[in-house]
Amino acid sequence: MFPVWATLVAGLAAALLLLYRFFTATAGYFESRGIAYLRPTPFFGNIKDLLLMRVSGAEMTLRFYNQLKKHRVGGVFHSRRPCLLVCDPEIVRLFLAKDFASFHDRGMAPVDLKANPLSGHLFNLEGRQWRVLRKKLTPAFTPGRMKGMMQLLLECSGELSEAMATAAESGSCLEIKEVFAQFTTDVIGTCAFGLQFNSLRQEDAEFRRMGRKVFQASAGAVVRRVVMAGLPGLARRLNLKFAADDVSQFFLKVVQDTISHREKHGIVRKDFLQLLIELKNKGRLESDEGEVPSSKNGNITDIDDFIELSDAALAAQAFVFFLAGFETSSTTMSFCVYELALNPGVQRRLLDEIDSVLQRHGGVMSYEAVQEMEYLDRVIQETLRKYPPAANLHRKCTEPYTIPGTGVRLEKGLKVLIPVYGIHHDPEYYPRPDEFDPDRFTEANKARRPGYTYLPYGEGPRICIGMRFGNLQMKAGLATILRHHSFASCERTIMPMVLEPRSFVTAAKGGIWLRIAPRSH
């Protein structure tokens, strides 16, 4: 008879051996297919530093890209899961647009509508469900709809400007990201739900607290999201969710209560939730006069299939609209004013443009005035180039596919990573990539660059559906505050920028601290 301790040791050794074999079983995947790859570490794959929170997702992406850039495609491992990294812009174009039919899914977190109703949103959905819902939601984001929301945006921008004025009076450093997060929370609350959140006046506003909880930067959140992306089967068995149960229940209740109240009292508002109610009741949205809903590349087929939209399905769309709208926009606005503070020449030029445009419009901030601010548009584009909120685009090969001109054959189910942050920081496309230069986005300079080298919103049929709203929200907010205030660095400003390794999106470690000063006209 073996001693008990020996049996336990033998059992533990066997378990560790099985675990080791499980995590290394795919290590030869790319070598057997003749694809250049980065050698994985058992258990971690190539993301050890990310899991140990030594680097951000953006920095990890840049590392992968620089190591594999001489190859058109290469292989990396997300834990044990092989992922194809695409470095060639022409292949990016094939995957995102021309051959989109073979890469139409993101292959992200598993959608389980029973266990997690809020997972059934447009970002996660695949196949027919995504195609039908995308087509039906497209009219919600036409230029006419955006123009109709402008007054709501300007009202929230006014609140933001007042908050900046209060901060300017103190003369002290201000953590700017939180202020912009409160602003975008109020914008989404007004434009999506028709509710007044007052986040700028109440720091503990419920919506702001819930939004903060979803994007909390913690070790547990990092591990959960890595497992959901790299080991979807395990994530499904463990019932891992992007948002906690209390967050899901909160959003479900808000949407269901608001819909019930509006339908009971015949209330109609010009907001996103009203469009969802119309879609639920009529099966489709009416386009603005003279506008035909379509994808950017025009190759989403005309599908009139019926799709049931329950209150939970509506809540899922409102939920992702809220998350995408407030977090990415507030982060981008924060990075934008950070770069303005560090580049006073750029800031002066932008302030002059805002003053000049408003003078032509009689001092009135309007949709038309904001659309005329071309340099502001370039400043935002350069901010998104340098700090894209999503470091990677994710796709899944949905059928066997051979990459033209390479002989590389991809299997159905293979995950694909498009390294946005790496491409955006490639000196071949953007000389001196660490410099902030909005003139990279003049029409002449954009024409000189290869296509598919600027991807902050993605590209192709799955390009971010809320891109117009996000841009308009940022332009309205920035133009309003820069009309009255300027930004400068202070003793707490971190230079150069350090990225937060625990954040789901590209974010600043330690926050962005700046000094705000009132402008004298």
- How far does CA 191 lie from the centroid of its chain? 19
pLDDT at 502: 85
Q: Angle 220-176-374 (CA atoms, 0-180°, nearest 5)?
A: 115
**Residue appearing with tokens 């800031």:** 347
pLDDT attached to residue 231: 65
Considering the domain boundaries, does residue 126 fall inside one?
A: yes
Angle between helix axes 344-360 and 374-386 (nearest 10 degrees) is 150
Question: Strands across the sheet with 485-488, in order?
Answer: 174-175, 513-518, 485-488
The candidate with the shortest Cα–Cα distance to 475, out of 367, 389, 398, 399, is 367
Residue 251 in any domain: the answer is yes
**DSSP 8-state symbol, 328:** I
SS3 466: coil
- Three-state DSSP at 47 gives coil
- Cβ proximity of 370 and 476 under 8 Å: yes
**pLDDT score, position 197:** 61
DSSP lists the bridge partners of residue 402 as: 409
Q: Is 425 helix (H, G, I), strand (E, B) or coil?
A: coil
DSSP structural state of residue 520: P
Helix (H, G, I), strand (E, B) or coil at 488: strand
- Domain membership of residue 151 (yes or no) is yes
State residue 119's pLDDT score.
77
Residues paired with 74 in a beta bridge: 85
Sequence-distant (6+) residues with CB within 8 A of 501 are 50, 53, 54, 55, 56, 57, 59, 222, 509
What's the domain count of the chain?
1
For 195, other C-beta atoms within 10 Å of its C-beta total 16
Residue 33 half-sphere exposure, CB side, CA atoms within 13 Å? Answer: 22
Distance CA 379, CA 395 (A): 29
Helices (H), 266-388: 272-282, 311-323, 329-342, 344-360, 367-372, 374-386
Confirm whether 55 is domain-assigned. yes
- Answer yes or no: are the C-beta atoms of 80 and 22 closer than 8 Å: yes
Sign of the four-CA dihedral 472, 515, 382, 465 = negative
Q: Is 99 exposed, middle or buried (0-12, 13-18, 19+ CB in 10 A)?
A: middle
The answer to whether residue 15 is domain-embedded is no
Domain presence at residue 173: yes
The pLDDT of residue 299 is: 42
Q: Measure the CA–CA gap between 293 and 136, rounded to whole angstroms.
A: 9
Place of tokens 């805002």: 354
Low-confidence ranges of the chain (pLDDT < 70): 1-2, 6-7, 109-113, 115, 192, 195-205, 208, 211-236, 238-244, 284-308, 521
Q: Where are the alpha helices (DSSP H) in 171-295?
A: 176-188, 206-214, 219-230, 232-238, 245-265, 272-282
Tokens 């992406």, residue located = 61
Beta-bridged to residue 86, according to DSSP, are 73
At residue 154, the 3 state secondary structure works out as helix
Q: Is residue 63 part of a domain?
A: yes
Residue 428, judged by CB atoms within 10 A of its CB (0-12, 13-18, 19+), counts as exposed
CA 15 to chain centre: 39
pLDDT tens per residue across span 97-142:
999 999 999 987 666 667 677 778 888 888 888 898 888 888 888 8
> 384-410 in b/e burial notation, b at 16+ Cβ within 10 A?
bbbbbbbbbbbbbbbeebebeeeebeb
Q: How far apart are CA 373 and CA 482, in angstroms?
A: 12
**Which DSSP letter does residue 394 get?**
E
511: CATH: 1.10.630.10
Distance CA 126, CA 156 (A): 35
Domain, as residue range, for 448: 25-518
**Residue 170, φ and ψ in degrees, nearest 5:** -75, -30
Task: Report if residue 87 sits inside a domain.
Answer: yes
pLDDT, tens digit (0-9, with 9 covering 90-100), for 249-270: 887 888 888 888 888 888 887 7
Beta bridge partners, 508, equal 499
- The helix/strand count (H/E) of the chain reads as 21, 9
Global pTM reads: 0.90
Residue with tokens 């709203």: 469
**Cβ atoms of residues 190 and 155 within 8 Å:** yes
